[in-house]
């Protein structure tokens, strides 16, 4: 993947992160088709972003980085397939896999000295926020907070990719 394509992927991550933050504040705006279309677009930007992040650092992140990359991709596929099996909601597992995969890829890049530990920390915090919101009965507030933190982390991934 050429440097130009990697930078475009970084900008895709930034746009996807910003859209995810915005979508957190308006979870019920529009009809179901409009919401699902928006989340599909966000997921496409996330996929492009994780491919770019992995392409940027693939030579230094090793097996842990590759595992994080693949976990993120599989998580996005699970999220997109969340309604494929009637009676089985794959979204929670997929969302956790996306955040965990991004965190693992980010930690591998940090360990290799190419990234900050701040971004994987945000991904971990997004999962903790979502779980905490569910446990204490503030699921809507937890969803908003988790989405904002997750989106900020994705913007951080994009910034890591596009910075010189």
What is the per-residue pLDDT across 21-61, written as a single tens digit (0 to 9) for each?
Answer: 999 888 777 888 888 899 999 999 999 999 999 999 999 99
For residue 67, give its domain range.
3-162
Residue of 136, 102, 108 lying closest to 122 (CA atoms): 102
Spatial separation of the C-alpha atoms in residues 82 and 94, rounded to whole Å:
8
What is the count of structural domains for the chain?
A: 1
> What is the CA 97 to chain-centroid distance, rounded?
9
pTM over 0.75: yes
């Amino acid at each position: 993947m050429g440097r130009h394509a990697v930078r475009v992927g970084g900008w895709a991550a930034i746009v996807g992160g910003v859209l995810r933050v915005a979508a957190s504040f308006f979870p019920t705006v529009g009809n179901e088709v409009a919401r699902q279309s928006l989340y599909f677009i966000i997921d496409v930007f996330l996929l492009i972003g994780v491919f770019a992040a992995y392409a940027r650092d693939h030579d230094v992140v090793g097996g842990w980085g590759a595992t994080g990359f693949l976990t993120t991709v599989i998580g996005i596929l699970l999220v997109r397939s969340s309604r494929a099996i009637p009676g089985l909601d794959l979204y929670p597992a997929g969302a956790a896999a996306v955040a965990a995969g991004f965190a693992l890829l980010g930690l591998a890049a940090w360990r290799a000295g190419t990234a900050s530990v701040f971004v994987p920390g945000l991904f971990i915090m997004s999962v903790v926020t979502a779980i905490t919101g569910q446990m204490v009965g503030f699921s809507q507030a937890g969803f908003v907070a988790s989405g904002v933190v997750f989106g900020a982390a994705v913007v951080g991934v994009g910034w890591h990719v596009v910075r010189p």
